[in-house]
Copies of this chain bind each other. A is one copy, B any other.
Amino acid sequence: MEIAEELAKHQKAISVAEFFEKNRQILGFDSAPRALITTVKEAVDNSLDACEEADILPDIFVQILRRGEGFRVVVEDNGPGIVGGEVPRVFAKLLYGSRFHALKQSRGQQGIGISAGVLYSQLTTGRPTAVTTKIGPTHRAGRWELMINTATNEPEVLKTEETEWDRPHGTRVELEMEGSYVRSRRQSIYGYLKNVAIVNPHARITLVEPDGNVEVFERATDKMPSPSYEIKPHPLGMELGGLIKMLRYTDKKKLKSFLAGSFSSVGAIISQEICDRAELDPEMAPQDLTHSEATRLLAAFKEMRLKSPPTDCLSPIGEELIRAGLEKEYRVDFIATTKRPVSVYAGNPFQVEVGLAYGGELKGDGKVEVLRFANRVPLLYQQGGCAITHAIENVSWKIYSLSQPGGGVPVGPAALLVHIASTNIPFTSESKDAVADVPEIVAEVELGLKEVGRKLRRYISKKSALSERKEKEEIIRKILPRISKKLSELLAREEPDINPVVAKIMGNLLVKRSVASENGLALVTLEVANYGDASKAFKLHETVSVEAEAVEPPARVIALGDGYDHLWKISLRPGERQQIRYTVPSEGVRFSEPVVEGVASELVSGARVVG
């Protein structure tokens, strides 16, 4: 017998369930803490998707209970529920689902998620998964106990019964598994749900931890996110093999109706134009096209000027929410955000949003923190293997005022948030941890990063120019008094006010108050001078314990508890100055330091600065 004949005896088909039973790490079950996180993630993603499809504000309950040496994971939602006949396959068959074939943004897109949790559960504990679901107030709830037959990848229903449930509709899934519960870090169930809440402010999420501690991530808005609509494939994203397959299996009888009915951005006129250009009869049957005719058709696609695919298949987070999310996560000095236009890879529309937070409580000595999101789902693992990270590494951050020792992720007191929304996120694996290095996506993320980078550079350079200026002024303020003091002593004169000198040297806005006494009245002059080389518009406040009289120019006066705020709106060109006069009684009047509102404090001498 030949060796090949010997070897052939070992050839065998592998069920997809067997495959993932052996390669569970591909599904995100590579360590004990992660098993619990992955299970919660898949269940919560399903709940959010289902609620959005049914236009229901999500209310999701997650509980982790210790059970022997393992855990029981419970996830319950107020979603539309699942019809009985579908329950076994939805939960206990890998590669089964409603969102795989639809070209629209959703969290689940693979048809694997929760069934992977069921597989891991039975593998580690030998126990079935329990599912309770109810599709409306007039229906009874159903309860199933399910396992996966791994040899066939088909569900095994161990038990099924009708039951009472006080919810009007919803789904509850309970799984037992080995695992380990961690709390402290970002890579935890708590950390995951916290990040989900940031980008899904329309959801209320409750977490009950094994020790009984309850965390509620409260709903921040009653507005549902803008819904995403299913679209047809765009001609520019087609590949020859895919086109041939569509031609072969369409139920359209004529090429022209196939074209107009199967693609986005193609109507009757464009359809005719494509046929003309490809020199094909619009009346021919799609099934009859030869390989070379299909090649011509594809070439015609690429030559046409077609509208971009519709963007309502996407539901981005929005710059406002990204800013709010970063503010919720960190106390910082500066936030920049950007939203890139919709772009396309292999026919799939996608859109990149980027946020950058800087300063405040962020630590300056470590790598910049990276928050990755895809279709509103936080990505916790495989940061090093993700296109988002690679794009961050590709940018020269030194240009944008962050250091990058040894290359890679920059170092400094900053955090980056990147969201990719797409009808098909190209994950590197079924565990959906990292986005693959699709050149179009990497390029778009880089562009977004550079945009926020430029905003950061402007902020930092302004800040550092101001702080250098302040330093210079402080030195001048220290030296000038000594000189002036020495001079005063030598000349036996009173020491002069050095503020005007400092303001002149520094090009500052100078505020100077002088008071003369006359007939029991104090005649007050406020002199405001712009020594800078840019125009300045600001408000000047003078708070005095009594209301001033003979005010020129007139001021707006506000009575405070213990005095009066006199307010002038002033605008000065470079070199311009203005005098303000008023009188108060010469005795028993208390002044505060003048206050300037609306100019950086580093640019003002002789007054306190607010706002």
Contact = CB atoms under 8 A, between A and B. Distances in A.
Given A126-B291, A428-B25, A437-B31, A96 B13 contact: yes
A497 interface: no
B102 A10 contact: yes
Contacts of A404: 406
A438 B31 contact: yes
A110 B19 contact: yes
Nearest to A123: B241
A229 interface: no
A590 interface: no
A135 B97 contact: no
A85 interface: yes
Interface string A481-494: 00000000000000
A431 interface: yes
A550 interface: no
A428 B430 CA distance: 9
Q: Kindly report how many copies of this chain are found in the complex they form together.
A: 2
A25 B240 contact: no
A95 to B, nearest CB: 4
A80 B3 contact: yes
A133 to B, nearest CB: 8
A384 interface: yes
B82 A8 contact: yes
A12 interface: yes
A80 B11 contact: no
Nearest to A404: B406
A245 B18 CA distance: 12
Interface stretch (A252-260, A321-329, A385-393, A573-581): A385-393
A303 interface: no
Contact of A430 (B26, B110, B424, B438): B26
Given A110-B23, A386-B385, A429-B26, A7 B98 contact: yes
Contacts of A240: 123-126
A405 interface: yes
Contacts of A431: 428
A21 B26 CA distance: 18
A429 B346 CA distance: 21
Contact of A12 (B96, B126, B169, B437): B96
Contacts of A125: 240-241
A83 B19 contact: no
Interface stretch (A86-94, A196-204, A501-509, A510-518): A86-94
Interface in A279-300: 291, 294-295
Interface string A116-160: 000001111111000000011001000000000010000000000
B15 A407 contact: no
A383 to B, nearest CB: 8
Which A-B residue pairs are the 4 nearest by beta carbons? A385-B385, A384-B384, A429-B429, A405-B405
Interface of A: 2-5, 7-8, 10-16, 18-19, 21-23, 25-26, 30-31, 50, 53-54, 80-83, 85-86, 89-90, 93, 95-102, 110-111, 121-127, 135-136, 139, 150, 169, 178, 239-245, 291, 294-295, 366-367, 381-386, 389-390, 404-409, 411, 424, 426-431, 433-434, 436-439
17 contacts: A2-B83, A4-B81, A7-B80, A8-B98, A11-B89, A11-B90, A12-B98, A12-B101, A13-B96, A25-B436, A26-B430, A123-B239, A124-B241, A367-B408, A385-B386, A404-B406, A406-B406
